[in-house]
Structure 1
Amino acid sequence: MEEQLYDDQTGEDALLFARVLDGAGGGRRIEWDEARNWQPDPARPLEVLWMHICRNQPGVQDWLEGMIGIPEPTAELLVSDRTRPRAFREGQTLVATLRGINFNPNAEPEDMVSMQLWCDGRRLITLRREKLQTPRDTLAEIDKGFGPTDAGSLITHLTELMIARMSRSIVDMNDHLDALEDQDPDDDAEEMLGQITTIRRNCLALKRHMSPQHEALERISRDAPAWFEDHDRREIAETIERLRRYLDDIDISKESAVVMQDEIRARAASSSEKATYMLTIVAGIFLPLGFVTGLLGINVGGMPGVNDGNAFWEVVALCSAILAVQLYLFWRWKWL
């Protein structure tokens, strides 16, 4: 169950949870009054404050500017809906916007959710609008005593979990593609094309958000302040490599979907062309026969064989001869 602490400045439940990391993998829970006035204690250099906030509550930006001292443009970015992944250094602070897969009920894979973060090495503030499972998983590890130990490792851990959860959607798409490949396109080509189109759209949406996230993580690894230690940079490098593999997997899934879509359309076009070809052959066979029977069927005087009892069979023989000649010519011309 989420912990929601009352914010007497905004009148809303802005703080979702807060912990003070002890530097050994654990942390203690603190309430809103203590969290908003918390200051680094020189006597406890390993302590780090982590606050997870719902950014769409009113007054959050004012609190970030007034109580934390974050510059107005940065505070506006942290609470805005402009959630394209990015990261930058601002003095000794790190600011980033990251995106992850939305696993909330009735959400599609392309419905990404964002998490903004601000950190000065002793305080980490993460903000979200939609529910995120990644902070909850990290919180559970801290409460059990084997979570991140400092601000840098907390950021890398959150990033790693967010990227790792993307593999679930990618694997689901690949499994769906494998199932479609085993399915007979003749059963329901239209439905298969619709499913493939959805997969392609999901691939494009994931690629659109994950590509700038790749750049944001590289920016963190390259430009983070000194409190972001070398082992944190190595962890971020591993996450970047994993994200690069996911991007390659998305490209492969997208190309596989394109190939499958082209194959289904080609088979449908081939089937249609074959039907049209057979209808053309049939029409070509019956055209001269129809001409002969139509010519002999006109009701004018002087038509030969009108009073001849064998005229009908003579016409049948003539039509049979014409049909035989046609079939022979079609065979010689390789139309049949």
Structure 2
Amino acid sequence: MSAFHDLAARSYGGDEAGLICGYLFDAAALEPARAIDSAQAAAWLGAQPEDTVVDDGNRAYVWLHFNLSHAQAERWLLRHAKLSDTFYETLHDGLPSTRIERADDSLIAVINDVHFEFSFEPSDISTLWISVGPRLVVTARAKPLRSVDALRTAVKAGDAPRSSTELLEHLLRAQADVLVKIVRGVTTRIDRIEDELLAGRLDHKRARLGVLRRLLVRLQRLLAPEPAALFRLLQGPPSWMSEPDAQELRGSTEEFSVVLRDMQALQERIKLLQEEIAANVNEDNNRSLFVLTVVTVLALPINILAGLFGMNVGGIPLAEHKHGFWIVVAIVASFTAVAAWAAFRKKR
């Protein structure tokens, strides 16, 4: 029964408490990064004193990553984690914009990341909620995200952040790396569309450019507050944050600024391509309209005469003339030539 319960929990996206992964980081231990489950995490947190004076050296802390889709995740946090009320308010306020703020003696962060199965769609973006304290880092999400997966892979490979602030910095840099890959992917797609445009194969490239532009606009809108929010925070960091950690966070803001500038440049490039495609489409439409106009003008004289001579009434001119048919043909040809000359003269 226990094995079945564990299998069901893993397939649901976490253990019985909704914990996807947990690590105890202790640079002084034989194993600097040790995986723990929710029961071990609860025991470790319960053993910590209420008020701990944290120095700037190596210190043990725990990282817990939760699946918010699990019904027990938030209950477990309320029972064992002793997080700031601001964190729980942030979980339910429905505001996905990126921000990092100080709440009591901890940091509350909301960052936006792409799903693990990212397919360059604007809907493939989700939110990661973070609470950072000197002894505990809690991350929570509703859908699998790439930055968390990259951090977990790095930890498994032996890259153990020495402090909770450094773990936050790792998450931010992982998110920046993901955004750089997105920018590269979008750039490659734009290059391909531009080459096809120059080759004269328009197809449906304008719609594809619109999807890419919406993706970049949404990413920029969700991520744009990030550098400014970090700069404001670093003006008054918590007492437990060391100066080297603060410098690393400043470095991560610079990476975000570069990525955001690249996104703005790509948006301008997409806009220019869309304008060029629209101009080409408009030119093709004008050309088609001109051809239809010329055909209509050329057919007008013969249609008028055919309508007049087709009336079943008496007194039709040239009906008894020996060369009447050829006279009518000459008249129609003359009017058609004049109409064609006028149409093409206007085109030139």
Class of the TM-score when normalised by the shorter of the 2 chains: 0.7 to 0.9
- Aligned partner of residue 13 in structure 1, secondary structure: coil
- For residue 223 of structure 1, give the secondary structure of its aligned residue in structure 2: coil
Give 1:206's aligned residue. 219
SS in 2 for 1:241: helix
Which deviates the most, 40-49 or 118-127? 40-49
Cα pair 1:26 1:147 within 8 Å, conserved:
yes
CA distance in 2, matches of 1:48, 1:122: 4
Aligned equivalents of 1:27, 1:263: Cα separation in 2: 54
Per mean C-alpha deviation after superposition, the further-off stretch among 158-167 and 84-93 is 84-93
How far did 1:238 drift?
2.3
Structure 2 residue 147 is matched with structure 1 residue 134: yes
Partner of 1:15 in structure 2? 19
Change in Cα spacing, 1:287 to 1:221, as seen in structure 2 (3 Å) is same
**1:93–1:118 Cα contact (<8 Å) kept:** yes
Pairing 1:43-122 to 2, within 5 Å after superposition: 46-78=59-91, 82-104=95-117, 108-122=121-135
The one-letter amino acid of 2:187's match is: N
Unaligned runs of 5+ in 1: none
Does residue 273 in structure 1 map to residue 289 in structure 2?
Answer: no
**Alpha-carbon separation, structure 2, partners of 1:26 and 1:206:** 35
* 307-316 or 179-188: bigger deviation: 179-188
1:320 to 328, 333, 346: 333
Distance 2:71 2:212 in 1: 37
**SS of the counterpart of 1:308?**
coil
Kept in 2: contact 1:23–1:46 (CA 8 A)? yes
Residue 12 (structure 2) aligns with: none
Normalising by structure 1, we get a TM-score of: 0.81
User: Could you say what the CA RMSD is over the residues aligned between the two structures, in angstroms?
Assistant: 3.4
How far residue 161 of structure 1 moved from its aligned partner, in angstroms, is 0.8
Kept in 2: contact 1:101–1:110 (CA 8 A): no
Q: Write the letter of the residue equivalent to 1:209.
A: L
Q: In 2 relative to 1, CA 289–335 (structure 1 residues): closer, same or farther, beyond 3 Å?
A: farther
Offset at residue 265 of structure 1 (A)? 2.6
CA distance in 2, matches of 1:5, 1:95: 31
Contact (CA 8 Å) 2:122, 2:215: kept in 1 or not? yes
Deviations 1:130-182 (CA, angstroms, capped at 9, x unpaired): 22343343344334433211122111112111221122222212211111112
* Matching residue within 28, 34, 39 for 1:28: 34
Unaligned runs of 5+ in 2: 1-5, 10-14
> CA distance change for structure 1 residues 53 and 280 in 2, over 3 Å: closer, same or farther?
closer
Q: Distance in 1 between matches of 2:67 and 2:22?
A: 12
Tell me the amino acid that sits aligned with residue 37 of structure 1.
A
Change (3 A) 1:222 1:290: same
TM-score (normalizing by structure 2): 0.79
Q: Does 1:151 align with 2:157?
A: no
Between the two proteins, what is the percent identity of the paired residues? 23
Distance across 2 between alignment mates of 1:80 and 1:131? 21
Closer, same or farther: CA 136–173 of 1 in aligned 2, 3 Å: closer
More displaced, 320-329 or 82-91?
A: 320-329
**Is 2:275 aligned against 1:262?**
yes
How far apart are residue 225 of structure 1 and its match? 1.0
How many residues are treated as equivalent by the alignment? 328
Change (3 A) 1:102 1:49: same
